[in-house]
Amino acid sequence: MTAALTLSGICFISAAVVRLVEPSGAGQLDRSDQMRRVLPLPTPNPVADAALLRVSTSPPTPAVAAAKSPKPVRKAKTVWKQMPPPVRLQIPAIGVSAPVIRLGRNADGTAEVPRTFSDAGWFRPGPEPGEKGAAVMLGHVDSQSGPGVFYRLRALRRGDRINVVLRTGKRLRFVVTGAMEAPKNNFPTKLVYKKTPGSTLRLITCGGAFNRSTGHYVDNYIVFAWLVGKP
């Protein structure tokens, strides 16, 4: 995907579309506020935890062990189909519920970014969420008027839920598996756009230090997620 090679400039290359400017009175992101989660962390269930950790003190007899051994199951091959486009992105843990717009390429081949700081954008040259491969969504971290749609993206943790609502009303559930920060001049293109065996999602915004001379942040922050269940 040729456009993937030019995504390293998200927010920086967006000058032709929209200029990401420094918030009033701030040299860079307020990390403490940016890390704040909207929903509380899940509380542990001691009863369930105890049941999972319970171990028998005596080994099972061969007959019992054989009865408990699962039979090998032949895994059915997943048939991937064309999915409807996404229209809304929901991330409960950080309070995001935003419309999703389509993004393409600029005239110079770079990736477009949303014109509105409250919108998330789906990179249309890539697969739709729910299809095989990595679907990519882009969003601003902040603006002169305040936080952007992905301002608290850094607060997401492994296991957090991401919902993508499709045009038909169908809701896909993704689960966060990891995150990373990378310099824009060394964007991990192959990792972000790799042909994953299942349906995956990448959320990308700006991060790192704020460069006053350019009016942009120097890094990208990337969240990785996998689809739960069948599309």
Residue 161 has a pLDDT of 97
Domain of residue 111, residue span: 2-22+80-227
Residue 89 neighbours by CB distance under 10 Å: 26
Residue 4 has a pLDDT of 43
Q: What is the total count of domains within the chain?
A: 1
Q: Quote the CA–CA distance of 28 and 210 in Å, as a whole number.
A: 5
SS3 of residue 49 by DSSP: helix
Q: Does any domain span residue 173?
A: yes
Of 100, 94, 112, nearest to 41 by C-alpha is: 94
Q: Does any domain span residue 98?
A: yes
Q: Does any domain span residue 163?
A: yes
Q: What is the CATH number of the domain that holds 115?
A: 2.40.260.10
Q: Does any domain span residue 39?
A: no
Cα Rg of the chain, angstroms: 21
Of 36, 79, 98, nearest to 199 by C-alpha is: 79
Q: What is the pLDDT of residues 161-183, one digit of tens each?
A: 999 999 999 999 999 999 999 99
Q: Does any domain span residue 211?
A: yes
Q: Does any domain span residue 62?
A: no
Low-confidence ranges of the chain (pLDDT < 50): 1-10, 12-26, 44-59, 64
Q: Quote the CA–CA distance of 35 and 23 in Å, as a whole number.
A: 17
